[in-house]
Structure 1
């Protein structure tokens, strides 16, 4: 398995071997730089791709699911748009999971309460969702996760098990923090890209193209365009006999612990 630990050991061994060989025969310095560059590239790719399990184990879909079941997840709320998302989910009898940002919970506690009261799951998406989150050390990440858990647990009355890292990026510091907090990482295998574009046709076509049994869809409850695409997507699922189920049912995992 390609993991951060295995890759690091391999490249350290490789560099030591080249260093020893260099004692007996001259090796071009650029060869060292090339090895290090490849090492950095693999680390960057593994960190940015949550499904790679490079730093931590992430549950991104259920490959064993044969029935037309998928899970919907929403990042970055709660926000005023979450209310519109909830109305659509109710209309199409669908359950979803909301990965919430701590500071947004403080701004919209009543919306989070509505999410939970309507039977949807909630998970931790950090407190700040800072663009520098990937560079935080273990203690800072642990602090953010615990702070957000405390906010969520005021409404769930149960310990939060699910965490989704901001931007889907994982690092050694996040891995170490998760050993402390005990969260399970929930990823996705159907990325709508609604966080980067407002082109509804592009977003919808991308989701439809990648839909398959056992899939986990990533959307955001933070914009009108996402709400409009959601209704179109729910219509498509209904027409094609797909059932939207919770993450718990799809992955056979528990969102909360007593």
Structure 2
């Protein structure tokens, strides 16, 4: 009887380990809109890299803030040097699909065809990131936040993506026309939701936020970014990358960084916005990316395919290529389930 009890405990322990190995954040969830702990803000930028990316990286470096970039594959083709700059500066790279197609309406029209499209969009963007920066992302954000269709969620779950939304939006895209003639007023309008939800109504001891911004507009990058960082920082929030915010590794084969206990606050001294395009990338000496992330491949050349033409890189990276479909957590899960199965077999033979 004692032997039976011992084996049964082994079974339960192994099954618990298998369940724990799944990771702390559910794959393909459509409800991830805030961080797991209070007092932090994940600053995220969509639709890049774009022409103002160097200026954005310079601002973030001056303000001592790390952000997360949900990039488009077609823009990685258009600006092939930026992914590695983003990674080397200590920011997180994530997927925003290849061509920004809104998925839910397409799934409703033709589920089989759209499944193939979605799989290709994710694979092509992952391949480009691996070629250009040596990493494959675990996080994705669907265009316009639409991945509620069961088939869309299934595709992302099968590919082990953490579907990431937001709970505060700058809505900077709404003020594109205004910003051409009145950048100050456009910036003020883009700060409205930040001011309302974070500055006026939130409590850093209880709340956390994932902020959505784009890097496509000059005033949004060069004016809004600094103002947002200063005001949110003064409220008492700490800026983190999306992997620290949610507790799952940023990249395949990586590990999530532990929460920082003594954070360095963002720099809030007023600074002059970076001038026009062509600014150099952020200075050397920026912290390396989080521990456990694969080192970027060396000697990789960016594909020269024009924007809009999907290029699937092959053979460009050095070293073994990680598989998106088999993360470290899932390997642990398989091993744990195997332990459980072996223990169960032993129990049945008693």
Question: Which bracket does the TM-score occupy, shorter chain normalised?
Answer: 0.7 to 0.9
Q: 1:187 maps to what in 2? A: 165
8 Å Cα contact 2:30/2:165 also seen in 1: no
Superposed, 1:1-258 pairs within 5 Å as 56-62=29-35, 65-66=37-38, 68-131=39-102, 134-136=105-107, 137-170=114-147, 171-198=149-176, 199-211=186-198, 212=202, 213-227=207-221, 228-258=223-253
Q: 1:132 deviation in Å?
A: 6.7
Greater gyration radius:
2
Cα deviation, 1:52-108, whole Å, max 9, x if unaligned, reads: x9x84442102x523x31110000000111111111111110000000000000110
TM (norm. structure 1) is 0.73
Q: How many residues align?
A: 203
CA distance in 2, matches of 1:134, 1:58: 19
Distance 1:131 1:69, change over 3 A: closer
Q: Any stretches of 5+ residues in structure 2 without a counterpart?
A: 1-25, 108-113, 177-185, 254-350
The residue matched to 1:119 in structure 2 has which SS? coil
Judge conservation of contact 1:164–1:186 (CA < 8 Å) in 2: yes
Residues 189 and 182 of structure 1: is their aligned pair in 2 closer, same or farther, counting only changes over 3 Å? same
After TM superposition, the runs of 4+ consecutive aligned structure 1 residues lying more than 3 A away are 55-58, 131-134
Q: Cα offset for 1:130?
A: 2.7
What residue in structure 2 maps to residue 4 of structure 1? none
Task: Decide whether the 8 Å contact of 1:142 with 1:180 is kept in 2.
Answer: no
Query: 2 CA distance for matches of 1:115 and 1:208?
Result: 28
How far, CA to CA, are the matches of 2:97 and 2:215 in structure 1?
16
Higher relative contact order, structure no. (Cα contacts within 8 Å, ≥ 6 residues apart):
2
Q: 1:225 to 1:134 in 2, by over 3 A?
A: farther
Alpha-carbon distance between aligned partners in 2 of 1:56 and 1:257, rounded to the nearest angstrom: 18
Q: Distance in 2 between matches of 1:168 and 1:132?
A: 9
Question: Which structure 1 segments of 5+ residues have no match?
Answer: 1-52
For the 8 Å contact 1:116–1:155, the answer to whether it is kept is no
State the shift of 1:249 in Å.
1.3
Q: CA deviation at 1:240?
A: 2.6
SS in 2 for 1:153: helix
Q: CA RMSD in A?
A: 2.0
In structure 2, the CA distance between the partners of 1:132 and 1:182, relative to structure 1 (3 Å rule), is: closer
Contact 1:162 1:255 in 2 (8 A): yes
Hey, what's the Cα distance between the residues in 1 that align with 2:215 and 2:126? 20
Q: So what's the TM-score if we normalise by structure 2?
A: 0.55
Q: What is the alpha-carbon distance in structure 1 between the residues aligned to residue 170 and residue 155 of structure 2?
A: 28
The structure where helix makes up a greater share of residues is 1
In the alignment, the residues of structure 1 paired with residue 79 and residue 136 of structure 2 have an alpha-carbon distance, to the nearest angstrom, of: 20
